[in-house]
Structure 1
C-alpha cells in the first residue's frame, strides 16, 4: 500500500474507522507516516465549517478566532476527528463574555438571524444588543453579590449566556463564559456531561482530551462534576445513540496507571495523552495586536483527574484570572495551589503587569510546574507502584478495557485500598510484602483479597495485627478482603494470583 499515490490512500482510508487506521499505523514506521499524512489531508477545519459558512466567511471566521480566542466544541469538534458530519447538529462556539459582541457582530453581518430564547423560565430580549447588555448586568450582579439568582439557567456552570442564530436552516450557538475569575470557554467544556465531547478546535490546533476512550474504546465516561445538574441524561443519550457506550465507573488499572489518560494525574491541554492536530494558518494573514488565539494560551490550561465516588471521573479545573491577563485560564489542583502562583497572584494585584508579558509568563510557569512533578514520599511511591502492578494484573486476559462495574476492580475500590494502606504503613517500621488474589463470586463480582505481611517491628510481641471491625466492614462492603500478618514470609514485595477460570 505504501507504493500507492496519496489519492489512492485517501479512497481506501476515508471509510476506515479511527481504530482501523490506528491499528494499521502500528504495523511499521512507514505505515505510521502514511497515516499521519492522510490525517494531515483529511483533518481540515474547513470540512466542518463549510455547512455553515462560505469559503470567504471561513477565512474571516478563523481570523476572528485568532483575534479573540473562541473555541469550537460540542458535536462539531467531535465530527472533526471522526471525519463525519452530523447534519442535525448546531455549530457550538465558546467565547469569553468580554469578546462575545465581536462574534455576534460577525454572525449578524454574515446574514444570520438572532433568535431570542423564550421559555417559561426565560425571556431573552429580541434585540441582540439588549441581550448582550442583559448578560453583562447578570455578570456584574454575580461579581457584586456572588449570586446570579436562583432562576439563572446556568448557575451551576461557567456559562454566562447562550445566543442562538440561524441561516438557511443551519444553527449556530454562541455560548459565552463568565469573565475573569468566573470561568472561561474551556472551563465550560470541562463541565460537560461526559468525556466524548471533551474536544476543542482553536485557531491553531484541534485537540481531543480523551482520545483512547472516545475513538478506540468507543466509550464515554461520566463526568461526576456535571452529575449534580439535572439536565445530563438527554445529551448522554444522544451520544449513546451515536454508538458510544456510557461508563459510570473506571477500572483501578487505569486510574493508577500514570500512562493512562484517566490516571490520577495533572493533565494539560496538548499533553502526551491528547490527540493534538496542528491546523493550517490562514494564508496571507497579518496578525493584529489582539492575539487571544495564540497556541501557547490554549496549552497553558490544565486540569486534574480525580475519583471521589462511583460516578466516573471528576474533571477538576480551577478558573484563574489576575489583572493583566487577557483571559481566564483553567488550572489543575497542583498548579493552582503552587507557591509561585500565589506569589504571582499577589504581585499582580499590587502591581498589575502589562498584558503583553503576563500571559506568556503564566504559560511558562504552568509548563514548568507540569514538567517537574512533586516527588512522592517513599511510602506513597511504594503503595502506588504495588497497586498499579496488582490492578494491571487483575485485568489480564480481559477482552474489554472497560468492563461493567461489578466485573472490575473499580477506581473507588482502588482509592479505598490506597487510603487504608497509607494509614497502615510506616516508613520507619518498614515496608510490607503483599499477596493479591482476585476472584469472582457466584454473581460474577470481582473481589480483591489482600494478604499483607508486615515486618516484625509493627508488632514486637509477634502477634498478628487485628483490623478494626468498622474498617473491615467498610472494605468488605466494597469487595475488599484484607488479612494482616506479621512475618517476613515472602522474598518479593508483590505476588498476584489470578484464577485461570476468571470470567470476562
Structure 2
C-alpha cells in the first residue's frame, strides 16, 4: 500500500467518477479510495482557518440546535477538494435563530462590522422596510431588529381552517432578512470574514434560489449535501436559475473562471432524458440524486437529529427550456423549523396531522420529530 501522501498526490488528479471506477477494481483500491475520501472531506479542512478544533465541535452543536447550514463557496470547496484563498464563510439560518450564533462569534473574538449602506431585497418593494445588510452600529442593535416571517400568501384549505401552507418564492441571494458581517485578524495577520445570512423562512429555500445550480450545496452538523452533483462536479455545468442582474453576471463570470459552463437553459436531449444530471421532476434533500457525505466524527447523541431531509421541491422547465423550481412552505407554531413541500399530495398527508393546526405553542414543545416519519415515508416511496 502506498503512503498516504503519495496516495493523495495521485488521487487528487482523478475525477470522482474515476475514483469510483478505480475503487471497484479490487479490495485494496476500495480501501485506498475510502481512506482518501475520509481525509479529503474533513470539516476541519474548510473551517480550520476560522475556528480551532474545539470551536468547530461547538459550532456543530450550534448547527444542530439552530438549523444553521454552511453554504456558498465553502460548501463547494468541501466537495471540490480545493480551497479558494479569497473566500469567506457564509452561514445560513432562519432569522429567529441568528442570535446565539452571532453572540458566540463575538465571544471567540470575531468583531461585528456594520455595513456602510443598506440594501433591500430584490423580491420586495422598496417601501416595505425589508432591510438586508445590517448597518446598526452595535451587534445588540443589529440583533434587536426583528421582522415577520414573510410569505407569498397562504394556500387555503377552506374558510375558518388554520393555514399552515404558504406559497414558496424566488428572489435570489438578497431574499434575506439580514446579513451580519463579522471579521477577525488571526495570529498571522490574515483577515477572516464570516457572514450570518438570515432567512425569513427556511435556509434551503434561499439555497434553491441561488444564481445557479453549481452553488446549491450545503453542510449541516451531520452531513454535506450537493443537490446537483453530477452536473456540478463531473460535467462542470451550472444551470442559471435567475434572471440577469449586474451582481449575478459577476457571480456567473467568477464561476466561469473556475471552470464551469453556465447554462441559460437546457437542451431538448436533457429535457427528454430523465437520467440527465439536470432532469426535471420531484426531488428531496438526500434523495438518490443528491451527493451526501457524512460529517465525521459524529457528535454526541444529545444533539437533535438532522431534519433537513424533510425538505422537497420540483424542477420544471418552460416552453423555452428555462428552469423553475417549485415548492410550498410548511409553517406552524408547532414546528421548530420551516420546511419546503414538493406537492399537494404531501400537503394532504401533512394536513392530517391535527396537532399542526394549533395556532399557539405550549412552551418549547415542538413536533418536527413527530412529523418526520410521515414526510420521510411519502418522499422515499414516491420519489425514486
TM-score bracket, normalised by the shorter chain, equals 0.7 to 0.9
Residue of structure 1 aligned with 2:357, choices 343, 349, 354 = 349
CA distance in 2, matches of 1:60, 1:277: 20
Q: Structure 1: 5+ residue runs without aligned partners?
A: 147-153, 376-504
Contact kept, 8 Å, 1:76 with 1:89, in 2: the verdict is yes
CA distance in 2, matches of 1:156, 1:12: 37
Show CA shifts across 1:423-460 (max 9, x none): xxxxxxxxxxxxxxxxxxxxxxxxxxxxxxxxxxxxxx
Query: Quick check: which one's helix share is greater?
Result: 1
| 1:256 corresponds to 2:267 | no
CA distance in 2, matches of 1:80, 1:374: 27
> Which structure would you say has the larger Rg?
1
Secondary structure (helix, strand or coil) at the match of 1:79 reads: helix
Gap change, CA 1:326 and 1:120, over 3 Å in 2: closer
Residue of structure 1 aligned with 2:222, choices 188, 197, 204 = 204
Give the aligned partner of residue 373 of structure 1.
Answer: 382
- CA shift, 1:239, in A, is 0.7
- Greater relative CO, 1 or 2 (CA 8 Å, sep 6+): 2
CA distance in 2, matches of 1:57, 1:208: 25
Map 1:59-98 to 2 at 5 A.
Answer: 59-98=57-96
CA distance in 1, matches of 2:330, 2:199: 13
What TM-score, normalized by structure 2, do the two folds share? Answer: 0.81
Show CA shifts across 1:124-164 (max 9, x none): 11111111222x0x337x58x99xxxxxxx79864111111
- CA shift, 1:24, in A, is 2.9
Gap change, CA 1:335 and 1:300, over 3 Å in 2: farther
CA distance in 1, matches of 2:376, 2:337: 18
Give the aligned partner of residue 182 of structure 2.
Answer: 165
> Cα RMSD between the aligned structures?
3.0
Give the aligned partner of residue 388 of structure 1.
Answer: none
Map 1:267-346 to 2 at 5 A.
Answer: 267-281=283-297, 285=300, 287=302, 291=304, 294-295=305-306, 297-310=307-320, 312-334=322-344, 336=346, 338-344=347-353
CA distance in 2, matches of 1:120, 1:99: 22
| 1:218 corresponds to 2:216 | no
Q: Structure 2: 5+ residue runs without aligned partners?
A: 120-132, 155-170, 186-190
| 1:247 corresponds to 2:263 | yes
Secondary structure (helix, strand or coil) at the match of 2:65 reads: helix
